[in-house]
Amino acid sequence: MASTICGWCGDRTHMTMQTEPKQVPSSSGYVYMASFRCSSEACHRLSIGSIWRQRDYGSNPQAEMARDVGIQWEPKSIRRPSFQDVPRQIAETATEAHACLSISAYRGAVALARAVVEATAKDHGIIKGPLVAKIDEMHKQNLIREITRQLAHEIREGGNEIAHGDLADEAMPSEDAEAIVALMDEILEEVYQGPARMLTLQKSRLEREQRNAAKKAGA
Ligand SMILES: [Zn+2]
């Protein structure tokens, strides 16, 4: 049984093979494709699992698929995390940056992650200079931590090329895109989500104190 995040229901589930792998010729080898059924009660939909093997490959693709050795899944599971306490337009763009990342659309992911950070700065009245200057200013205004500012300086290069219309000669490596989207997540956490959580805690503490005071006064 293979295990993956189902592209239909989004749950991590076991996939049970429904049909034997079909061998399809591809450049210098074969693709083996089989249908699998999601084990989630609420889903049970079919996905296609594929593995690619060289022409002189001696092993048994069916057994390997059953053992889940490097299967590519279709439909892919697309990550669309939601961002609580972040202004709607910024939150929706951040969600799309993750969706791009999960389908390996790395340039799109980076362009959107940059737009999210730009919009976050603008939301706090920071509009001057290149993005890296805005990140410095966000740190100056105590919106983000020093380590986040430093990290932004280290990983900004790849994103710069896309933002300025110089499409890079080399493909954007997945690790760079992942790092830039992770930086976006961290900035949203520090600027919006963390403070909102603290305010909620503070509010519930105040309410509890008021209730206790009212009880004492009534006693
Ligand atoms: Zn499913």
- The whole-number pLDDT of residue 68 equals 76
- The whole-number pLDDT of residue 87 equals 97
Q: Specify whether 142 is located in the same domain as 171.
A: yes
Cα(194) to ligand 1 centroid in Å equals: 32
Under 8 Å CB-to-CB from 32, ≥6 apart: which residues? 21, 22, 23, 24, 50, 51, 52, 53, 61, 62, 65
Q: Specify whether 53 is located in the same domain as 121.
A: no
Q: Specify whether 67 is located in the same domain as 94.
A: no
Q: Specify whether 184 is located in the same domain as 101.
A: yes
Cα(77) to ligand 1 centroid in Å equals: 10
Q: How far apart are CA 137 and CA 118, in angstroms?
A: 12
Cis-peptide, bond into residue 75, ω within 30° of zero: yes
Q: How far apart are CA 65 and CA 75, in angstroms?
A: 17
Cα(45) to ligand 1 centroid in Å equals: 6
Cα(38) to ligand 1 centroid in Å equals: 5
Q: How far apart are CA 120 and CA 183, in angstroms?
A: 13
- The whole-number pLDDT of residue 192 equals 97
User: Which residue do the tokens 């309410």 mark?
Assistant: 207
Q: How far apart are CA 219 and CA 147, in angstroms?
A: 51
Cα(43) to ligand 1 centroid in Å equals: 5
Cα(5) to ligand 1 centroid in Å equals: 8
List the domain range (segments joined by +) for residue 193: 88-197
Structural domain includes residue 46: yes
- The whole-number pLDDT of residue 161 equals 52
Structural domain includes residue 65: yes
Cα(122) to ligand 1 centroid in Å equals: 40
Q: Specify whether 97 is located in the same domain as 191.
A: yes
Q: How far apart are CA 115 and CA 111, in angstroms?
A: 6
Structural domain includes residue 81: no
Structural domain includes residue 204: no
Of the residues 39, 74, 109, which one is the last residue of a structural domain? 74
Structural domain includes residue 218: no
Q: Specify whether 179 is located in the same domain as 143.
A: yes
Q: Specify whether 178 is located in the same domain as 100.
A: yes
Q: What is the pLDDT of residues 46-73, one digit of tens each?
A: 999 999 888 766 678 778 887 777 888 9
Q: Specify whether 65 is located in the same domain as 100.
A: no
Q: Specify whether 123 is located in the same domain as 187.
A: yes
Under 8 Å CB-to-CB from 70, ≥6 apart: which residues? 51
Q: What is the pLDDT of residues 105-126, one digit of tens each?
A: 999 999 999 999 999 999 999 9
The answer to pTM > 0.85 is: no
Number of separate domains in the chain: 2
Structural domain includes residue 181: yes
pLDDT-flagged residues of the chain (< 70):
1, 56-58, 156-170, 219
- The whole-number pLDDT of residue 57 equals 65
Cα(82) to ligand 1 centroid in Å equals: 20
Cα(6) to ligand 1 centroid in Å equals: 5
Q: Specify whether 173 is located in the same domain as 127.
A: yes
